[in-house]
Amino acid sequence: MRIELIKRPQHSALFSALSPFIAFALTLAAGGILFAILGKSPLAALYSYFIEPLTEIWSLHELAVKATPLILIAVGLSVCFQSNNWNIGAEGQFIVGAITGSIMPVLLPDFQFWFVLPLILIFGFAGGAAYGSVPAFLKVRFNTNEILSSLMLVYVAQLFLDWLVRGPWRNPEGFNFPETRQFHSFAILPEILPASGRAHWGFVFALLAALVLWFLLSRTMKGFEVKLIGQSPRAGAFAGFSDKRMIYFAFLVSGGLAGLAGISEVSGAIGQLRPVISPGYGFTAIIVAFLGRLNPLGIVAAGLVLALSYLGGEAAQISLGVSDKTARVFQGLLLFFVLACDTLIHYRIRLGTAQKPEGTA
């Protein structure tokens, strides 16, 4: 028995538009079955995951805090993926952006002026872009697979952060805990509405980045270049576009936005560097990008949905006593169903029998 995928001559525009919603509905159904197997009420569990976090004003602020890095990273990844460059290392670029953005408040704590905050945001963007340029250079110069190189660089960044906060950057007044000194007030992203919650201006940056890149991809020649090279590099070469320059452009944009997400998370939500500053935002943002159909505006909605899964996982731990890994299962199911729906929209399944080689009985 052999299973083949046969490309459809024409796919349904309606189902293409409905694919993310179908995938989300299938994820809810599979999640309900999962909770039933665990001995929990499916309805109570899904309520804890997707409704309970939306019932209080403070939890809506937490939703914005969780969604900020997801949207920023995924918007940058949409440029990479549309140009057929597979940046899987946004988690590492997130971490390096947090590190470079933290240089001034950690090493120069007495340097306290109004322009420190803009500088650390610029440093964070630049650090993430520089780290993203490494797999771009390796691909352009040595034809290295960017999936592997960008992914392996994640672990380099994680170990470097761990070494910094346990060694040279450890807070001398922190009782030997592995963390840096707290950021001073001039290095903290202010809250949008301090009286009602801790959502910070990083969320505004995420919305602005989504709008800017939506305009770039849909209304400019650069956006046409991104899509043309992604769909047909040969046609792009005939049009005079350079695929090598596009590789650098895509990785610099995605790495820079991941770095901006990193310093925004540290400056706005945490206030210092620690050995772990991300629950996997860089990897979850891949799901966000595809759930949003690689459209920056769709990514905003998808980022809020995935942020809700983080908050729901925390709520379910308290109310249901389940593991925090359950939220990761939800995210994995969602990515699986998104990819499965997209595959079945563009391809049909054909079952056949394996042919025996000539000369065999």
Q: Which domains does the chain have, with CATH numbers?
A: 59-345 (1.10.3470.10)
Tell me the per-residue pLDDT of 98-135, one tens digit each, with 9 for 90 and over. Answer: 999 999 999 999 989 999 999 999 999 999 999 999 99
Tell me the per-residue pLDDT of 47-79, one tens digit each, with 9 for 90 and over. Answer: 888 888 888 898 899 999 999 999 999 999 999
What average pLDDT score do residues 78-96 get? Answer: 96
Which pair of tokens denotes residue 108?
């120069």
Share the mean pLDDT of the chain. 90
Q: How many separate helices (H) and strands (E) can be counted in the chain? A: 14, 2
| Whether pLDDT at 356 is above 70 | no
Tell me the per-residue pLDDT of 310-334, one tens digit each, with 9 for 90 and over. Answer: 888 887 777 777 777 777 787 788 8
Tell me the per-residue pLDDT of 198-207, one tens digit each, with 9 for 90 and over. Answer: 999 999 999 9
**R_g of the chain, CA atoms, integer Å:** 22
| Residue labelled with tokens 């394996």 | 354
What average pLDDT score do residues 177-194 get? Answer: 93
| Whether pLDDT at 13 is above 70 | yes
How many residues appear in the chain? 361
Tell me the per-residue pLDDT of 334-355, one tens digit each, with 9 for 90 and over. Answer: 888 888 888 888 888 888 765 6
164 vs 39: which has the higher pLDDT: 164
* DSSP per-residue string spanning 243-275: HHHHHHHHHHHHHHHHHHHHHHHIIIIISS--S
From residue 45, how far is each of 67, 278, 321 by CA, in Å? Answer: 22, 25, 10
- At residue 359, the pLDDT reads 59
- At residue 39, the pLDDT reads 85
- At residue 87, the pLDDT reads 96
* pLDDT band (50, 70, 90) for residue 1: low
